[in-house]
Amino acid sequence: MELRILARYPFLKEASERVKTEAIGLEELLTDRAFERARTVGFDRALAALEQGAIPDRPVGGDADALGELLSYPVARMIVSAANDTFLTRRYAIAEAKLAHSRLLREDDAEFLRHVATELGVALTPANGGFSLHFTDFLKFTNTMREKEWKLINQRVGAGVVYLPRDKSVRVLQNAVQRKIDEELPLEVNDLVEERLAAEVQQVKQVLRERHAKWRAQDIGPVRITRFPPCMYNLLAAIQNHENVAHMGRFAIVTFLHHAGLSSEEIFRVFGDVPDFAVDVTKYQIGHITGETSSTEYSTPECATMKSYGLCPGPDALCLTIRHPLSYYRKKVRAENARAATGAPRAEGPASPRP
């Protein structure tokens, strides 16, 4: 495969093999002036993922430029691994996957897309201008996508095979790239890596410290998490565990927190630890959902809707008496007020959260 192509898709096995054939040692890569651009681009790659949630799609010129671009990928992975931060690792995986997605969308060769998919463990087969894949692969690589358009029941299925248009097939590959990188990182880094990339790693860590200090939700105002139904408890736990919550899950938790009494600014702080967090986009979405910047104040999805999107982890005893997450919360409030009036101890929250 051409070096220029490998530079655009450095997660491929052929890319790793090409780096080996260049016989470039680790110390040489990290110290030699000939690879200074690769180190600079690798650092930019990791920092852009952290600060912007996206990696610039740099044009790849001749072989020398392509080799530098290709080598920037392992440099970025070493920096991310040395920083050893779960939020950064997941945000980097998402950014690399988005970059791959934008590049794959411009590929006209169906066989090339099939080749990339095969390396990623996705059995895509060209079919009627799009692609087909077994329903088990579809479920495996779309299990975090809760929007209705990605539900299996809304796909064209025949004999256990799901048929997708080209753009949706490439979106599945984005998820596969993200999964691959997320599973591979962090790498074990030796003393040489820590020494030679110390300045870059420290800068990344400083940005992480500043980011967490500014956006991380230390608490969520007057709202008590012990009053949350299991579905909202799990969504909040996933967010604060740096997990990438699907759109419907974010919509649900925003509406729930809004109607439970949090301000838009307090809700905004909750999302500070989401790997694909973007300040302007998040503020806009929260304002739109809460009616602060739109003409509609959205309601929290009822229990049946939460179940249909796979957002219900299983009901507890109180869930069986209500049909809406806010009803759960309000019942808890009334129960706590009643106990406070009698001097009884406060009840605990959900017994077994599933973050």
Task: Tell me: pLDDT of 350 over 70.
Answer: no
Is a pLDDT exceeding 50 seen at residue 124?
yes
Share of residues in the chain with pLDDT > 90 (%): 59
Angle at 292 between CA 312 and CA 278, to 5 degrees: 65
Which structure tokens are listed for 11? 């997660």
pTM over 0.85? The answer is: no
The amino acid that residue 8 corresponds to is R
Handedness of CA 30, 32, 33, 34 (dihedral sign): negative
At 55 the pLDDT is 96
- Segment 226-246, tens digit of pLDDT: 889 999 998 988 887 777 788
At 353, the pLDDT band (50, 70, 90 cuts) reads very low
- pLDDT value at 120 more than 70: yes
Across residues 108-136, what is the average pLDDT?
94
Cα–Cα distance for residue pair 229/327, rounded to 1 Å? 9
Asked whether residue 346 carries a pLDDT value surpassing 60, the answer given is: no
What is the residue whose two structure tokens read 């796979």? 310
Q: How does the average pLDDT of the chain come out, rounded?
A: 88
Q: How many residues does the chain have?
A: 355
pLDDT band at 217; cut points 50, 70, 90: very low
What is the structure's pLDDT at 352?
39
Q: In whole angstroms, give the CA distance from residue 6 to residue 22.
A: 13
CB atoms within 10 A of CB 21: 7
What pLDDT is stored for residue 354 in this prediction?
Answer: 37
Q: Would the pLDDT of 323 be above 50?
A: yes
Per-residue model confidence (pLDDT) at position 198: 97
pLDDT at residue number 351: 42
Q: Provide the β-strand partners of residue 132.
A: 125, 163
